[in-house]
Amino acid sequence: MSSKNIISIDLGANSGRAIVARVTEAGIEIDELHRFSNGPVTVHGRLYWDVLRTFEEIKESLRKYANSYEEEPLSLGLDSWGVDYGLFDKNGRLLRNPVHYRDARTEGTMEEAFEVVSREEIFAETGIQFMELNTLYQLFAQKNENPESLQSAESFLMMSDIFNYFLTGEMATEFSLATTTQLYDPVKKEWAKKLYEEFGFPLDMMGEVVEPGTKIGNLTEEVAEDVGLGKLPVIAPATHDTASAVAAIPAEGDDWAFISSGTWSLMGKEIDDPVINDDVLEANFTNEGGVAGTYRFLRNLTGLWLVQECKREWEKQGEEYSYGELTDMAREAEPFVSLVDTDYEDFQSPGDMPEKLRDFCRRTGQKPPETKGQLIRVILESLALNYNFIMEKLESLLSERIETLHIVGGGVRNKLLSQFSANALNRKVVTRPAEATAIGNALVQAIELGEIDSLAEGRNAVRNSVELETYRPEEPDVWAEAYEEFKEYKEL
């Protein structure tokens, strides 16, 4: 092993971050390089990603490296959220800003799409969970709204792939992101040609799909000169952020599940082959690509988005609270005032989240939370109970007992939610690293560079580098009783 530097850039739905990672005999060392806002922009009622602003922040990360380190980095890798995309013309120019997955254009499109191709056939071809934000329904909405825009597209790229193209001039789609589209066949490992034909999407705009760890190219001369670095190699790690996060889970053995916790909670298990059958379809689980030939068998759940939206609404009203302050209020609040289905459809779009949550309680005959502390506690308790609901389904679908839940990502900073999760699941919960996505991104680069030999060795390096936190169940009878009540609202 060497101690040379690897740059890892993780683009989240609200913010981005860049780290410098070094893989050493002792483990993994990381330095934060740059953090930046990555929120969407609304123009004439449509929600877009500001890709040029984000690209400038990516370059700023590289400038900061060039100004802070004497040693040229070994490589750069990017990861991002899934499902969103950009279309390019024959000259390689972006046709328009990519639309944000929370934009309203996909409302109602799933049912319309099922009139063209059945739900069962779509799942059999892709093995992917049904959500209106999936790329399939975004393309369907775009085709209905403006079919000429698809006909004029020469190339299609997912979000990380767009930035890799901006950096290198080379186009490719990485496997873990491709699988999130609900237009990729994970068994045949190719685009689901039948779906493209039936929906009338142009298959020829879909490019080559490459495995995690593939070198895309080097920085163009223009970018290299701009940021003050040489022709830095750009490697596609697992470019889907959850795939990179799972790569960094410091687990041993096979009896564990994971949650990648942040705006979303992605909960599941790492498996060797996709599981595609009627039971999985009914449970709305998904088979997304992972690293080292694995798949992430999971459910995509609402996460701390609910807390984020409450905080945003209170800020609009002139009341500023840190996340730590909100958690402290929740810790002191009365337990189990009410419970909500955190995946309820109305909660998925921006708006007055405190009022949406209270309205759910009123409509289900519960006492609405009155104070901010009660409201945040209702969210955290309900999230934890929802994790147990999904864990039961996960164990049933895989016919195995899961002993430990690993939670990684920014959500591990909310220790109250971690303890609630142990209580609700009545099993051990192990948390950290918080920067799992960026670390997993760097690990995949390190494997490609020969700095480490395998995913198992990389996870061992994480265990040696991070002080893990373990939570044990408390008050199991109280939480079991609350779970029985929660299931009534979950099944409405």
Check residue 454 and report its DSSP letter. Answer: -
Q: Which residues contact 144 (CB under 8 A, 6 or more apart)?
A: 109, 112
**In sequence order, what are the beta bridge partners of 261?**
265
Helix (H, G, I), strand (E, B) or coil at 38: coil
Residue 55 near residue 101, CB atoms below 8 Å: no
Name the nearest CA neighbour of 50 among 103, 100, 101. 100
Residue 430 near residue 418, CB atoms below 8 Å: no
HSE, side-chain direction, 13 A CA sphere, residue 388: 28
Residue 345 identity: E
Strands 214-218 and 233-236: what pairing? antiparallel
Beta carbons within 10 angstroms of residue 25's beta carbon: 9
Taking phi over 0 as left and psi of -120 to 50 as alpha, with beta for the rest, 167 belongs to alpha
Residue 337 identity: V
The single residue of 185, 241, 341, 343 carrying the catalytic annotation is 241
Cα distance between residue 291 and residue 294, in whole Å: 6
Q: Is 204 a catalytic residue?
A: no
Scanning 179-274, the segments in alpha helix (DSSP H) are 193-199, 221-227, 241-247
Beta carbons within 10 angstroms of residue 204's beta carbon: 10
Q: Is 238 exposed, middle or buried (0-12, 13-18, 19+ CB in 10 A)?
A: buried
Cα distance between residue 143 and residue 150, in whole Å: 7
Q: List the Cα angle 354/355/357 in 5-degree steps.
A: 70
Cα distance between residue 153 and residue 228, in whole Å: 33
Torsion of CA 174, 176, 181, 185, to 10 degrees: 90
User: Which residues does the annotation mark as catalytic?
Assistant: 241
